[in-house]
Amino acid sequence: MTKSEHIPSAHFDYEIAFGRTLGWVSQTELHILRRKRVAIAGLGGVGGSHALMLARLGIGAFHLADFDRFDLANMNRQAGAFSSTIGAPKCAIIANMVADINPEAQITPFPKGITDSSIDAFLDGVDLFVDGLDFFVLDIRRKLFARAREKGIPAITVAPLGLGSAWLIFTPDSMSFEEYFRFDGASTEQQYVRFMIGLAPAALHRPALVDPSRVDFSAKAGPSTPMACGMASAILGAEALKVLLKRGSLRPAPWFHQFDPHGLRFKSSRTQGGNAHPVRRIKIALAQHWIKRIAPREDIYASSVAEDAPTLYKILDLARWAPSGDNEQPWRFDVLDDHHIRVHLHYEPGANIYEYANGRPIWLAAGGLLETLRIAASKFGFTCDWTIENENEPEHIRLFVTFKENDTVPASPLAPFIMSRTVDRRPYRRDRLDAQEKKCLEAALSDTFYIEWFESRKDRWAATRLNMLATRLRLTIEDCHKVHQKAIHFENNHAAYGLPAKAVGLDPMTIAIMRWANAKWSRSKILNRFLGGAWAASLQLDILPGLNCAAHFFIRWREDRPDRPVSDWIEAGRTLQRFWLTAESLGLSCNQVLRH
């Protein structure tokens, strides 16, 4: 540990640099801040932003500690993360940024982080300790808070949560950090849960969590946003101002505070005993149960091919995400060489009632596959062309696909959405599509097609009734039931083939009933005839999403033809996939219907 020396700029004037704060602080208070010393442990997600915030507030001296270096995963939130700082030590980068704001600042770096032997030096002469450590770093955090209390140093921790922040203040005469969180006797995982609940017992951020599997306590990983980190530093600055100037009303522990701008909610409350309070203990128990239910995140988007695999295999790895009826994937690839494949389309007449009109849904799926191949190929600088073999023999149709390298081909802007495209069967929002959204969706079509929109309540109800009839047919025909038995999986949330039951769009109770009925056709008949099973399903699958949406739409051919060749249906499938990916790129959810 060495004390860094910064030579003040000949043109630097402290009062001019930080004088715009005057009015919110007095002239005297500004110079009091100039003489204050703050210790910040951890200079990553929030710690670096804390340091810059306090430097701009006019704080004159800092103890800065972090042993880590910046990497690419820090880019979404950390103040010192830039392309130019990847691999650089966080402590040195943030210290230089603070000095660049205030060349007069006294900065004592701790580039090895905080250890048992350096805690006293880190807190020596400090007026405020600021906790910027990673959520999962508890051992040294506990020691820092304990030693700060012994030295009579106030301490603040502000956690970035969701799109907002939660914070706690500990003063020498308030409840201590240990008294509040009650870590003693708890396992490491239990300590994480107690820390989480203690920071934000109101859990205002939870509704904004769209993918709970991203919270992985076993891997010490969790999601973060730049808004939360920025807000955390703003809150830290406001609370630090009150602590350092001894003005305003402090609400230290057992008070907790949380603001969530996503839900427009603020909570500030006092819980006697902190985590020892009976209600808080119930919350901790429930949270522990919730954590156990969250399986370690399965990276379903991970590539199935090696990094050094031929480019063609990487293209095919993306193409496997192309949509097909019931996720049946009625195709198999023959790789002929590095630039050619043959796609075998599987169609067995009479084997699947949904493969009507000589396998028309398969030709639509084949079109979606070809469009996905084209878009995926562009990502790697390839073009993609194809020919249809045996077009007049539905049971033996094949696609011969050629890939050519072309450095001038731009990557399709739709490529990033190949894997994220989904079917969302839940109710949507009824906000009308704006003109730009419609223009983008219509531009996804070729000149052969046009969109017919159904936006009024009356039109949406008419389309909903059509879907209701389709649902009733699907659930009351025995041949459909056989397909459902094969396609729907009740055990897994993700399926390489077929559909996970949770993706169908029904609530857990209805899924449980469906599981019972799906086992035997006789049960489905009883459910549909006497218990209104088809109508209950239609309520959730058709009526609620059908009325709660921006619009229904039909994609139509501009020219009517009584008998279309397979190539036309393949082209329609390409159009549907392009339309679907465009909707995904606009942040829109959709289910698609093609009417002729």
Q: How confident is the model at residue 2 (pLDDT cuts 50, 70, 90)?
A: very low
Judged against a pLDDT cut of 50, whether residue 596 lies above it is answered with no
Chain segment 530-553, per-residue pLDDT in tens? 777 778 888 888 999 999 999 999
* Mean pLDDT rounded to a whole number for the chain: 91
Q: How confident is the model at residue 22 (pLDDT cuts 50, 70, 90)?
A: very high
Chain segment 261-274, per-residue pLDDT in tens? 999 999 999 999 99
Query: Mean pLDDT across the stretch 312-340?
Result: 93
Chain segment 368-378, per-residue pLDDT in tens? 999 999 999 99
Q: What is the pLDDT of residue 296?
A: 54
Q: Which of 74, 399, 428 is nearest to 229 (CA)?
A: 74
**Residue linked to tokens 């009883």:** 526
Query: Mean pLDDT across the stretch 26-34?
Result: 96
User: What does the alpha-carbon distance between residue 116 and residue 488 come to, in Å, rounded to a whole number?
Assistant: 56
Q: What is the pLDDT of residue 593?
A: 41
Judged against a pLDDT cut of 50, whether residue 4 lies above it is answered with no
Q: How confident is the model at residue 122 (pLDDT cuts 50, 70, 90)?
A: very high
Decide which of 216 and 180 is more confident. 180
**163 close to 227: Cβ distance less than 8 angstroms:** yes
Q: What is the pLDDT of residue 299?
A: 59
**Residue linked to tokens 């008070």:** 255
Q: What is the pLDDT of residue 103?
A: 96
Q: What is the pLDDT of residue 298?
A: 57
The identity of residue 218, as a single letter, is S
Q: Which of 22-26, 227-231, 424-428 has the lowest mean pLDDT?
A: 424-428
Cβ count near 284 (within 10 Å)? 20
**CB neighbours of 546 closer than 8 A, spacing ≥ 6?**
460, 461, 463, 464, 467, 468, 552
Kindly tell me the burial class for residue 62, based on how many C-beta atoms sit within 10 Å of its own C-beta (0-12, 13-18, 19 or more): buried
User: What does the alpha-carbon distance between residue 54 and residue 94 come to, in Å, rounded to a whole number?
Assistant: 12
Q: What percent helix, strand, coil does the chain show, rounded to 5?
A: 45, 15, 40
Q: How is the beta sheet containing 340-345 ordered, strand by strand?
A: 331-337, 340-345, 398-405, 382-389
The identity of residue 177, as a single letter, is F
Q: What is the pLDDT of residue 7?
A: 53
Q: Which of 422, 324, 396 is nearest to 364 (CA)?
A: 324
User: What does the alpha-carbon distance between residue 331 and residue 516 come to, in Å, rounded to a whole number?
Assistant: 31
**45 close to 33: Cβ distance less than 8 angstroms:** no
Cβ count near 351 (within 10 Å)? 11
**CB neighbours of 177 closer than 8 A, spacing ≥ 6?**
142, 145, 146, 149, 155, 170, 253
Q: How far is the first Cα of the chain from the last one, in angstroms, to the nearest whole number?
A: 75
Q: What is the pLDDT of residue 526?
A: 86
Q: Which of 252, 273, 296 is nearest to 128 (CA)?
A: 252
Q: How confident is the model at residue 495 (pLDDT cuts 50, 70, 90)?
A: confident
Q: Chain centroid to CA 8: how far?
A: 44
Query: Mean pLDDT across the stretch 418-423?
Result: 88
Query: Mean pLDDT across the stretch 416-432?
Result: 87
Q: What is the pLDDT of residue 140?
A: 97
**448 close to 558: Cβ distance less than 8 angstroms:** yes
Q: What is the pLDDT of residue 289?
A: 83
State what percent of residues in the chain have pLDDT above 90: 71
Chain segment 429-463, per-residue pLDDT in tens? 888 999 999 999 999 999 999 999 999 999 999 99
Q: What is the pLDDT of residue 308?
A: 87
Strands (E), 194-346: 255-260, 265-270, 331-337, 340-345
- pTM for the model stands at 0.76
What length is written for the chain? 596
The DSSP code sequence of 138-163 is -HHHHHHHHHHHHTT--EEEEEEETT
User: What does the alpha-carbon distance between residue 431 and residue 437 come to, in Å, rounded to a whole number?
Assistant: 12
Pairing of strands 255-260, 398-405: unpaired
Judged against a pLDDT cut of 60, whether residue 204 lies above it is answered with yes
Query: Mean pLDDT across the stretch 387-410?
Result: 91
Domains (ranges, CATH) in the chain? 9-292 (3.40.50.720), 311-416 (3.40.109.10), 424-586 (no CATH)
The identity of residue 155, as a single letter, is A
Decide which of 495 and 576 is more confident. 576
Chain segment 55-108, per-residue pLDDT in tens? 999 999 999 999 999 999 999 999 999 999 999 999 999 999 999 999 999 999
Q: What is the pLDDT of residue 295?
A: 54
User: What does the alpha-carbon distance between residue 375 and residue 403 come to, in Å, rounded to a whole number?
Assistant: 12
User: What does the alpha-carbon distance between residue 516 and residue 528 come to, in Å, rounded to a whole number?
Assistant: 13
Q: Which of 16-25, 92-101, 465-474, 501-510 has the lowest mean pLDDT?
A: 501-510
Judged against a pLDDT cut of 60, whether residue 417 lies above it is answered with yes
**Residue linked to tokens 């399903």:** 537
Query: Mean pLDDT across the stretch 501-525?
Result: 86
Cβ count near 406 (within 10 Å)? 11
Q: What is the pLDDT of residue 10?
A: 66
Q: Which of 370, 301, 307, 297 is nearest to 333 (CA)?
A: 370
**567 close to 466: Cβ distance less than 8 angstroms:** no
Chain segment 555-578, per-residue pLDDT in tens? 999 998 888 999 999 999 999 999
**CB neighbours of 156 closer than 8 A, spacing ≥ 6?**
128, 129, 130, 131, 167, 168, 169, 170, 236, 239, 240, 243
The CA distances from residue 227 to 116, 261, 262, in Å, are 33, 10, 10
Q: What is the pLDDT of residue 595?
A: 34
Q: How confident is the model at residue 252 (pLDDT cuts 50, 70, 90)?
A: very high
Judged against a pLDDT cut of 50, whether residue 302 lies above it is answered with yes
